[in-house]
Amino acid sequence: MDIEKSLIRLKARVKRGGDFDKWDLQTRNGISSISRAVFTIEEHGAGKQLLRMKTWTRPSKSFIISFSFFTALSVFAGLDGVMVVSLFLALFSILFLTEYILDASIGMHHFKKTLLQAGERWNELIRDINIEESFAVDENVLHGSNKTIILLKEPSLQNEERSLELVKKIS
């Protein structure tokens, strides 16, 4: 999966979903959030496909525990009348919340960025195939006795080489 490789290049920890998970890819950039994505491919005829991606984030268990701990301590210190300690602990809670928001937004940005990169690579691949097909048609018209056959390999975004081979057969 090319999207997975792009996420790894962005230094995100990537995990694939299993057969019974409700998500396909999961990334973690920090300790506070987990971003997940589900991918769906829709066939639109004439060789056109649409890739849809739904992403969401959720807090990690370590974030929930630490945020709850410092928030509770801050509240209990405030109820006990120790306002300086209460404000200091509330500051830690706010810092943990800020870390979660930043982690979640970075995770979502990574998914969006990799999907756009995959789409650009796919469009380049299709554009190159169309250019080669037009050359093949021109060659076939110019050389009436030569038949030009276009063999397409399986289209794959994992393959960095161009997915097109032109083979000429002389009849």
Secondary structure string (H, E, C) spanning 74-102: HHHHHHHCCHHHHHHHHHHHHHHHHHHHH
36's CB contacts (< 8 A; 6+ apart) are: 17, 23, 25, 26, 27, 55, 56, 57, 58
- Looking at the predicted structure, is the pLDDT value of residue 60 above 90? yes
Q: Residue 100: which pLDDT band, with cuts at 50, 70 and 90?
A: very high
Task: Output the CA torsion sign for 18, 22, 24, 26.
Answer: negative
Q: In which domain, by residue range, is 85 found?
A: 2-170
In this prediction, residue 1 carries a pLDDT of 53
Mean pLDDT of the chain: 77
Burial class (CB in 10 A: 0-12, 13-18, 19+), 141: exposed
- State how many domains the chain has: 1
Rounded mean pLDDT, 72-101: 94
